[in-house]
C-alpha cells in the first residue's frame, strides 16, 4: 500500500503549525507544503484576489500525486471554500468547521471570541458557523491586523496583542478561537494575557478532523516545502521557530 500524500497550503509560515502537528501525528503521510509568501498577508486582500491565489495554490499542488489538500489558512477557507469545494477534483479539508465544533463543545457559557485576520472577520464565517451550531452563542470577532506580518518577520508583537486582547480581560468570554494558523505561535503570550480563557487552535483542530487509520510498520515520510518568494528569510525564521531545519524552495508555477 502506498503512502497517503496530502498538500497543505497557507499564505506563509502559519501553515507550518499544521504541518508540524500533522507530521508528528501521522509520520507515514507524505506532505507537500506550499506557503504563498509572495502574496502574504492574505488578510488585507479582497475576496477576488484571495480566490485567485487559492486557485493558483491548488493548481500547483495538483501537479503532485496528492490525495487531498488541507486548507491551513482561515482566510482562504472563509473566503473561498464554499465556492470552490464542489468544483475541485481534489478533496479539500476545511479548517473553520472543525474549529467551531471544538469551541462549541468546550465553551461552558456559549460566549466565544475569535481572533482572526481582517478578511476572515469581514466574511463572518466564524460567526455564521458558530450560530448554525447554536443560535444562542454570543460571538465576538477581533481583527488581528498586523500580527501575521510581525510573526513572519520574527518581530515582537506583544503591544499589538495586548491591544487586541484587552477587551477580553474583564469579560465573561470563556473561549478564544485562534482563527489564523499563525496565531498558535503566540499561544504562550496569549495565555499570559488571558489566563482564564481556554484557547482553541484552528491548526490543531484541522489535524484532529482527519480520520486516518494509523498503520503498523510504517515508513516515515519527508515533508517537501515550497514557497512563492525568496525562501532564505522564510527558512531562517521558520527553522528558528520550530527548532528543526526547514528548507523550502521556490515553487515553479504559472500565475
Neighbours of 2 (CB within 10 A): 8
Please name every residue paired with 142 in a beta bridge, in sequence order, or none if there are none: 115
Residues identified as active-site: 73, 180
Q: Are 119 and 78 in contact (CB under 8 A)?
A: yes
Residue 16 sits at φ, ψ, to 5 deg, of -70, -25
Amino acid at each position: 500500500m502506498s503512502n497517503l500524500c496530502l498538500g497543505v497550503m497557507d499564505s506563509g509560515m502559519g501553515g507550518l503549525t499544521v504541518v508540524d502537528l500533522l507530521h508528528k501525528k501521522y509520520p507515514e503521510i507524505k506532505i507537500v507544503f506550499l506557503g504563498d509568501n509572495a502574496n502574504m498577508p492574505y488578510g488585507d486582500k479582497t475576496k477576488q484576489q484571495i480566490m485567485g491565489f487559492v486557485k493558483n495554490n491548488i493548481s500547483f499542488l495538483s501537479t503532485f500525486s496528492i490525495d487531498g489538500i488541507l486548507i491551513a489558512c482561515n482566510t482562504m477557507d472563509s473566503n473561498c471554500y464554499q465556492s470552490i469545494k464542489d468544483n475541485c477534483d481534489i478533496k479539500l479539508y476545511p479548517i473553520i468547521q472543525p474549529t467551531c465544533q471544538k469551541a462549541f463543545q468546550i465553551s461552558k457559557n456559549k460566549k466565544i471570541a475569535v481572533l482572526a485576520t481582517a478578511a476572515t472577520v469581514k466574511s463572518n464565517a466564524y460567526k455564521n458557523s458558530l450560530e448554525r451550531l447554536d443560535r444562542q452563542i454570543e460571538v465576538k470577532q477581533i481583527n488581528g491586523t498586523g500580527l501575521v506580518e510581525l510573526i513572519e518577520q520574527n518581530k515582537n508583537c506583544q503591544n499589538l496583542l495586548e491591544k487586541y486582547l484587552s477587551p477580553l480581560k474583564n469579560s465573561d468570554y470563556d473561549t478564544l478561537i485562534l482563527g489564523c494558523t499563525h496565531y498558535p505561535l503566540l499561544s504562550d503570550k496569549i495565555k499570559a494575557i488571558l489566563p482564564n480563557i481556554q484557547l482553541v487552535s484552528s491548526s490543531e483542530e484541522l489535524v484532529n478532523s482527519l480520520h486516518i487509520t494509523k498503520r503498523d510498520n510504517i515508513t516515515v515520510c519527508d515533508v517537501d516545502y515550497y514557497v512563492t518568494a525568496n525562501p532564505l528569510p522564510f527558512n531562517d525564521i521558520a527553522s528558528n521557530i520550530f527548532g528543526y531545519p526547514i528548507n523550502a524552495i521556490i515553487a515553479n508555477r504559472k500565475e
